[in-house]
Amino acid sequence: MAAWLTSLQTDTPQEGFELALKLARKGVGYTQPDAEVRDRLRQEYAEDADSLTMASQVVAIHFQTVAAANNYWK
Amino acid sequence: MAAWLTSLQTDTPQEGFELALKLARKGVGYTQPDAEVRDRLRQEYAEDADSLTMASQVVAIHFQTVAAANNYWK
Amino acid sequence: MAAWLTSLQTDTPQEGFELALKLARKGVGYTQPDAEVRDRLRQEYAEDADSLTMASQVVAIHFQTVAAANNYWK
Amino acid sequence: MAAWLTSLQTDTPQEGFELALKLARKGVGYTQPDAEVRDRLRQEYAEDADSLTMASQVVAIHFQTVAAANNYWK
Amino acid sequence: MAAWLTSLQTDTPQEGFELALKLARKGVGYTQPDAEVRDRLRQEYAEDADSLTMASQVVAIHFQTVAAANNYWK
Amino acid sequence: MAAWLTSLQTDTPQEGFELALKLARKGVGYTQPDAEVRDRLRQEYAEDADSLTMASQVVAIHFQTVAAANNYWK
């Protein structure tokens, strides 16, 4: 696997949030490596309220980790 | 993406709670960028008890992060 | 929005638990501001075991935050 | 509401686990105060694998709080 | 209830993971004390992908607690 | 059980993420030890958006633990 995660440090909270998004998606990518399948499934979750909330929750957990890693960008 | 998150610091716990709400919604917004779709889906979750509880849970996780970031506004 | 959350400090763990309940409900209230709709939905979740467990989980996450904010009332 | 939670301190991890169970149940009790309804619903979740797992998860979150409150009984 | 949890300390991360599994199962056991019912329900969740993922999540939360209790076995 | 988890320390965040994946899968493996059953179930979750999101969430919780164990690889 190519190097995609070398640090949790980001300059801003927004970059930290976007890293959290990347981590959440990688969690799916490692489980379902086939990009075609993932793209096909997008229609399933991108237009379903609960699916979108579940996705937002995974981002929230990763953001909690990234924020702590950056000492909350104080 | 425009700068929407420059700090986790807020003056009060209530502002912290409202930032947590914003983070939860941004988690959905990044996943489904189409505002029209999100508005259409609102009818789905805004009148469903479990959907509202799930949304409240994402806010709770983000609020935990924001509260720690603000040293609980002590 | 009126000031409803000025501090996370409470005198006792029980008050902390009740603040966590308030935070969980506010997470729903901000998402569905219409009290009539929320009252109508109460029948849906108040007599459903899994819905009640989900609600209890949101309280648990907020209680974790409030307990840390109060240094566990030691 | 009578005083039911005056401290998070327990002598042993097992007592801490049992306090976490109490907190999880209180989260349901505050949301559905009618004991008859809660007893009726017990048949629903007590014989459903996923419902039992969800209940165990709420206990896990509260146990994480109680364990931190007791400095992990070191 | 017999003494089943006297310490969160374990010698290795693997023992810590196995303690987390025990805690997750005890959360079910305290809620459904009837072993026969629990065994019957095993068929329900042991061959259902989402049920297994939910069970793994409860272990993950308990493992987070046990790992912190052991200062991550550093 | 053979020794599969001797340390939470990893050299990089990416290795930490991959350890989190391993922990999430072990949580399933301990609950359903039959590899054939797990392989059969893969079709169920690997092509279901919500199932993949749930799996990613377990990874997120374990990654939070592993990241703290490694002091966020600072």
- In terms of CA atoms, which chain F residue is nearest residue A35? F47
What is the biggest distance separating any 2 CA atoms in chain D, rounded to whole angstroms? 41
Average pLDDT along chain E: 97
Tell me the average pLDDT of chain C. Answer: 97
pLDDT value at residue C70: 98
Residue F1 has pLDDT above 90, yes or no: no
pLDDT digits (tens, 9 = 90+) for B9-63: 999 999 999 999 999 999 999 999 999 999 999 988 999 999 999 999 999 999 9
Of E44 and A57, the structure prediction assigns the larger pLDDT to A57
With beta carbons less than 8 A apart as the criterion, state whether A51 and A44 touch.
Answer: yes
Measured distance CA(D20)–CA(D68) in Å, rounded = 12
In angstroms, the CA B66 to CA B72 distance is 8
User: Residue A55 corresponds to which tokens in the numbers above?
Assistant: 């996705």
Task: Given the cut 0.90, state whether the ipTM is greater than it.
Answer: yes
The pLDDT-based confidence of A1 (bands split at 50, 70, 90) is confident
- Do residues F58 and F24 lie in contact, with contact meaning Cβ atoms separated by under 8 Å? yes
Report, as an integer, the average pLDDT of A13-34: 98
* Alpha-carbon distance A70 to nearest alpha carbon in chain F (angstroms): 9
H or E element: which one contains E29?
helix E13-31
pLDDT for F9 equals: 98
- Give the pLDDT mean for D11-38: 97
- What residue spans define the domains of chain B? 13-73
Q: Please state, in angstroms and rounded to a whole number, the distance separating the CA atoms of residues B59 and B17.
A: 8
Query: Do the beta carbons of residue E30 and residue E38 sit within 8 Å?
Result: no
Contacts of D41 (CB under 8 A, 6+ apart): C47, C48, C49, C52, D32
Q: Which of A17, A46, A60 sits opposite B32 (nearest CB)?
A: A46
Q: Round to the nearest angstrom and report the end-to-end CA distance of chain E.
A: 33
Rounded to whole angstroms, how far apart are CA atoms E38 and B21?
A: 39
Q: Which residues of F touch E (CB under 8 A)?
A: 1, 3-9, 23-28, 30-32, 37-38, 41-42, 44-45, 48, 50-51, 54-55, 57-58, 61-62, 64-65, 68-69
The predicted pLDDT at position C2 comes to 85
Quick check: F55 and F45 in contact, CB under 8 A?
yes
Residue type for position C33: P
pLDDT band at residue C26 using 50, 70 and 90 as cut-offs: very high
Per DSSP, the three-state class of B55 is: helix
